Chains A and B, each alone.
Chain A
Amino acid sequence: MKEAWLFAAQRVSAMVLAPLVLLHLGTVLYAVRGGLSADEILARTEGSLFWGAVYGLFVLAAAVHAPIGLRAVLGEWCRWRGAGLDIAMALFGLVLLALGLRAVAAVL
């Protein structure tokens, strides 16, 4: 019942992402005031457990959500299916997770 689990993971991660995306947009609007470079943003957010936790969750949900969606798109548009696709999507999820957590680690 792999598809049923992926369906549930997709739904749950979407539920997590929906409010976090809104929060993120708000944060972006707020954070751009006073400079957009990584240093400037980090200067305002560094050392915050709260933001670390929020973005940690965001990254986790995105790393679950995006590969499942991409898997469906590739299956339909490129007729790519089977174990190769599943492995590629798992790796894609891990890359998202690694890149995202790296950014979160910088905040902490």
Chain B
Amino acid sequence: MKRARPRLVKTGYDGPVMAMLEVEIWRGEGGGGAWRRYAVPHEANQTVLDVVTHVQRHIDPSLAYRFACRVGMCGSCAMTVNGRPRWTCRTHVSQAARKGRVRIGPLRNLPVIRDLAVDMAPFFEKWRDAGARFVPSGEPPEEPVRPDEPERRAADAGIECINCAVCYAACDSVAWNPDYPGPAVLNRLWTLANDRRDGDRDGHLDAAGAGCHLCRSHQECADACPTGLNPTAAIAGLKREVFRRALGGRTREGRQ
């Protein structure tokens, strides 16, 4: 049987076409919607975000999506590409396409506003509710913070988070458990707990308390994080330290 060809609409491309990508994009508002097909010219070094932008600029201006920096810093362009959450501005089509086909949908685990734009509020509300932000101690640390001291290394390992919610979309525990704060928040709490300049280590550990134990160590976050962080390792550290605290163990003041 002959496979149905994609409906070729306007490509918006006037040069000689080398190869076309079969692109499917999720279109719809809120909970409903459907996959729509588009033919997009394949170009060298084309990113997935370029593909989406092409569709919006040349084929259907009503397509909703989100981006800002286009260089992997702002964390606003995350989408599901062929089933995998990715930062689309730094994902080349050649990496993600399968046999010239790309399917681009909104991030999982977050409510869809329209098309590829999800509502990030639940992600950031969990962040806020956990108090996952730096608390100035008011005092300079007694000992200077050395870049190679173990705590600084532990903090540095998780510091480059761009709040893209790729880990949040990748995580099954987030999908299963509405109370689970998600990998990014816990990763942030772990960097704060290891930052000697922060004034509320115990508060951060308490905030991680119940939440970190909902992690099942599947490592989907570590696998998906575009900046190469390992939130699972951070959460394992939190589980250890939270238990130490439950035992009435050391606080930062008590450590050498």
Interface residues of A (CB under 8 A from B): 1-8, 72, 75-77
Contact between chains at A7 and B177 (CB < 8 Å): no
Contact between chains at B213 and A3 (CB < 8 Å): yes
What are 17 A-B pairs with beta-carbon distances under 8 A?
Answer: A1-B209, A1-B242, A2-B210, A3-B209, A3-B210, A3-B213, A4-B239, A4-B243, A4-B245, A5-B243, A5-B246, A7-B213, A7-B239, A7-B243, A75-B177, A76-B177, A77-B176
Contact between chains at B243 and A8 (CB < 8 Å): yes
Chain B interface residue count, CB cutoff 8 Å, equals 12
CB of A90 to closest CB in B, whole Å: 18
In whole angstroms, what is the CA distance A5 to B216 when docked? 16
- Contact for B242 among A4, A72, A76, A77, CB less than 8 A: A4
CB of B243 to closest CB in A, whole Å: 5
Contact between chains at A1 and B245 (CB < 8 Å): yes
Instruction: Tell me which residues across on chain B come within 8 A of A75, comparing CB atoms.
Output: 177
B208-250 contacts to A, CB under 8 A, are 209-210, 213, 216, 239, 242-243, 245-246
Instruction: Tell me which residues across on chain A come within 8 A of B213, comparing CB atoms.
Output: 3-4, 6-7
Contact between chains at B177 and A1 (CB < 8 Å): no
Interface residues of B (CB under 8 A from A): 173, 176-177, 209-210, 213, 216, 239, 242-243, 245-246
Instruction: Tell me which residues across on chain A come within 8 A of B246, comparing CB atoms.
Output: 1, 4-5, 8
In whole angstroms, what is the CA distance A5 to B213 when docked? 10
Instruction: Tell me which residues across on chain A come within 8 A of B243, comparing CB atoms.
Output: 1, 4-5, 7-8
Instruction: Tell me which residues across on chain A come within 8 A of B239, comparing CB atoms.
Output: 4, 7
In whole angstroms, what is the CA distance A4 to B243 when docked? 5
CB of B207 to closest CB in A, whole Å: 13
CB of A77 to closest CB in B, whole Å: 7
In whole angstroms, what is the CA distance A77 to B172 when docked? 12
In whole angstroms, what is the CA distance A3 to B176 when docked? 18
The listed residue with most B CB atoms (<10 A of its CB), out of A2, A76, A77, is: A76
19 extra interface residue pairs, beta carbon distance < 8 Å, beyond A6-B213, A7-B242, A8-B246: A1-B242, A1-B243, A3-B213, A4-B209, A4-B213, A4-B242, A4-B243, A4-B246, A5-B243, A5-B246, A7-B213, A7-B239, A7-B243, A72-B216, A75-B177, A76-B173, A76-B176, A76-B177, A77-B176
